[in-house]
Amino acid sequence: MRDRIGATRNPVTSVDPEFSLPTADDPISLAGPPPIRVMIVNYNGGTDLARCVEALLAQTMPDFEAVIVDNGSIDGSLDGLPADPRVTVLRMGKNLGFAAGNNQAAAGAATPWLVMLNPDAFPAPDWLELLLDEAALHGDCVAFGSTQVMSADPGKADGLGDCFSPYGFAWRGGCRKPLPVPVPAGESFAACAAAMMIRRDWFEKLGGFDERFFCYGEDVDLCFRLRLAGGRIWQSNRARVAHVGSATSGGAHSSFSLYHGYRNQIWVIAKNMPGPILPVTIFTYLPLLLLRCLLLKRPGMIWVVLKATFDGLTGLAPFWADRAELQKTRVGAFRIARVLSWSPMALIKRRAKLV
């Protein structure tokens, strides 16, 4: 159901195998539609959603359109949202998940850029303006991450670029650590989809988010596929958002978050990790997983992680099947290896890595 426009859009479909990926050098025309479509996927976002939309409407770069996909919220979070002709609300009637919700929001877009924004993320007034400025400065990059600070404690980072280790674990760089001065900028492995900008043509040709993930890890998977196809990602130290984090899923350490995070990272590895690096992952992942289980503060969560691991492994077959096509056309393994976080201490300390 659409609040402002007629028919419901179809989701992003899979990649046409005969359609080659665009290159970073392909020109983008800014004539016609606005440069940006902002996509917000809401599920019982409470008052955070209204705060998010208010911050969006206060942007110094007003030339954008926004699509809010509501995944069957029952908390009244859509009530009383600021009225604005740039904003369309799509009511799905059920919880499609973050991945499918964003694909619905992206479908039919004509804007050169797509921007994901979580309903619990509150952008600074110049956020969109600075993201576009980063795109102009770093034309060889096709996706951009934002500096995320903790909403409850802006002196601490919520994420300074998503990291991935050859040992199979992903994390938001610098999460919950004091915000460094100056905040670093550079090329990151991945951009966190809580506040991420990507070229629409790349998003579409990559097939959008993998909806089998439902939520958690789908942004790492998308960025991994982007890198396998030769794309680069820039982490901005200027475009900023304040982020609550996992506000609609019970918190970062809820059983829901842990389950989907640990299950999905197995699927990310199976699909994407280049063959020359994969043996390192295979021989280190399970020992490190067991170690992380022992360090969990709530013993009951160990069973959640073990269940997630079991389901990830037993559900591996279709992702392994996808691997053949991805690896057949990927860039050299060294280009992936250079942006992975090889230091075990980086994994333990959740350090950011920018190159």
Cβ contact 73:45 at 8 Å: yes
The dihedrals phi and psi of 110, each to the nearest 5 degrees, come to -115, 0
* Residues comprising the chain, all counted: 355
Nearest-angstrom CA–CA distance, 307 and 305: 5
The dihedrals phi and psi of 147, each to the nearest 5 degrees, come to -75, 120
Domains contained in the chain, CATH given: 36-243 (3.90.550.10), 255-329 (no CATH)
Residue 20: pLDDT band with limits 50, 70, 90:
very low
CA 329 to chain centroid: 23
pLDDT at residue 13 is higher than 60: no
Going by their DSSP bridges, the two strands 233-243 and 121-123 should be labelled as antiparallel
CA dihedral 324, 271, 347, 262 (to 10 degrees): -150
Q: Letter for the amino acid at 278?
A: L
The CB density around residue 81, as the number of other CB atoms within 10 Å, is: 18
Could you read off the pLDDT of 68-111 as tens digits, one per residue? Answer: 999 999 999 999 898 899 999 999 999 999 999 999 999 999 99
Could you read off the pLDDT of 267-286 as tens digits, one per residue? Answer: 999 999 999 999 999 999 99
